[in-house]
Each structure stands twice: as C-alpha cells, then as structure tokens.
A and B are shown apart, each in its own frame.
Chain A
Amino acid sequence: GQNIDQPTEMTATEGAIVQINCTYQTSGFNGLFWYQQHAGEAPTFLSYNVLDGLEEKGRFSSFLSRSKGYSYLLLKELQMKDSASYLCAVRDRGTTNKLIFGTGTLLAVQP
C-alpha cells in the first residue's frame, strides 16, 4: 500500500526553528517533494530529495533517509508568512511524475 504520514498541525513562534516530519511506506520511491500551500492558493514547490542527506535552500532545508522511509522539512527564522500547510509527497515508481501526497501539516506561526 501507499502511506505517507505527517503531523496534522503544528504551532511555532516567530523567529524560531520548526521541523516537520514525514514518514512514508510506498511500493516504489523516485524522490520526495515538499510543497507549501497557503489557504486558497496553489501548492508551491519547496524542495526535492532523491538521495540521502540534507538539501539546503535559504531558510528551508529538507532531509531524507531512504532506509528509514523518513524525511523532514526544517524551517529556520520563522516568519508570520510561513503560516501555511506543508505537503510531503513521494514520486511513484516507474517513469512518471505521479506524486503520492500526505494530508499535509498545518503550521501556525505565532508572534
């Protein structure tokens, strides 16, 4: 089966660091994506990991461990505008762009 788990909600303080975890059990794996989605808007691409390790992009970093079926998204120096849903998605096996999404983590950044 295909299963991607993320916490439903998280709360953090402006200026702090937050880590959003994602665990997956899928029949195939061709990369893991993180997207940000503000209410009423389209998901926007944040990061892509296909090999184990950390990918850093500004205030955002994403980590992958394929052997553990685990990823996290790290957000540093939190800003109010980071309040959004964060979606973890695994690309299915085969030559495809098909993504299997978790239900997302709603992050609330408080002053």
Chain B
Amino acid sequence: KAGVTQTPRYLIKTRGQQVTLSCSPISGHRSVSWYQQTPGQGLQFLFEYFSETQRNKGNFPGRFSGRQFSNSRSEMNVSTLELGDSALYLCASSFQVMDTEAFFGQGTRLTVV
C-alpha cells in the first residue's frame, strides 16, 4: 500500500510570505503528527491530529497552524515566514493514538530566503 505522501518535496519562499504543506497519511490511518527537523535541534514536535481534532501542540509560535480533513489528510501553514523556519518538515502517520509504530513521509524541505 502507498506510504505517507508529503507535497511539495521542496519549496523556496521569501521572508514574510506564507506557506502551506500537505500530508496524506497511509490509507486507513487517522493520526497525523508534524515535526520540524533542523541540524541543530533535531526533530521537534509541532502538532498531532486525530479524526480532525488537534490533540496536542508543540512549543511553536502562533504563526504555525494546522488542520486535518475528514479523509485524514492534513495541512500545516506557516505565516510571516522567517529565515529560521528553514527546515525539513516531516509528517508521521499512525493508525490510532498510542500506536506502536509511526510511519514518516519523505518530508518537505522549506528554504526561506
């Protein structure tokens, strides 16, 4: 079966712009989590969604937001981009909450110039 799909794979934006990233989980999975990965900080948790509800939010400013649709696809949005937002954004898909596995997508590489 198809894995986790993230689009786009690469993105270049300028400071002050906004961006929307998409994640389609594995078919049947209802839990989607988002992470930001940078060389210095590693993977840091952004949000977790299950059945269209945000269950958890990490310590990121309000410029970072997300949502999940009825088909479990999820989007995250970053407004007023800053240079420090340049990172690899990964989403992880699980069948249920408290699952023993999470499957990651290839990520979206965002570069802010």
Interface residues of A (CB under 8 A from B): 30-31, 33, 35, 41-45, 48, 50, 87, 89, 91-92, 94-104
Q: B102's contact among A41, A99, A102, A103, by CB below 8 Å, is which?
A: A99
- Decide: A97 and B103 in contact? CB cutoff 8 A: no
| Distance of B100 from chain A, by nearest CB (Å) | 5
Q: How many B residues touch A, CB cutoff 8 Å? A: 28
Interface residues of B (CB under 8 A from A): 4, 31, 33, 35, 41-45, 48, 50, 55-56, 58, 90, 92, 94, 97-107
- Decide: A48 and B101 in contact? CB cutoff 8 A: yes
**B contacts with A: majority SS:** strand
- Decide: B106 and A97 in contact? CB cutoff 8 A: no
Which residues of A lie under 8 Å from residue B105 when comparing CB positions? Answer: 42
| Distance of B92 from chain A, by nearest CB (Å) | 7
24 contacts between A and B (CB under 8 A): A31-B100, A35-B104, A42-B105, A45-B101, A48-B100, A50-B100, A89-B43, A91-B98, A92-B56, A96-B55, A96-B56, A96-B97, A97-B48, A97-B97, A97-B98, A97-B99, A98-B33, A98-B58, A99-B33, A99-B35, A99-B45, A101-B42, A102-B42, A104-B42
Separation of A48 and B94 alpha carbons in the complex (Å) = 14
Which residues of B lie under 8 Å from residue A31 when comparing CB positions? Answer: 100
Separation of A102 and B42 alpha carbons in the complex (Å) = 7
What 9 A-B pairs come out closest when comparing CB atoms?
Answer: A103-B42, A101-B43, A42-B104, A48-B100, A43-B104, A98-B56, A42-B106, A45-B101, A97-B94
Q: B44's contact among A48, A50, A101, by CB below 8 Å, is which?
A: A101
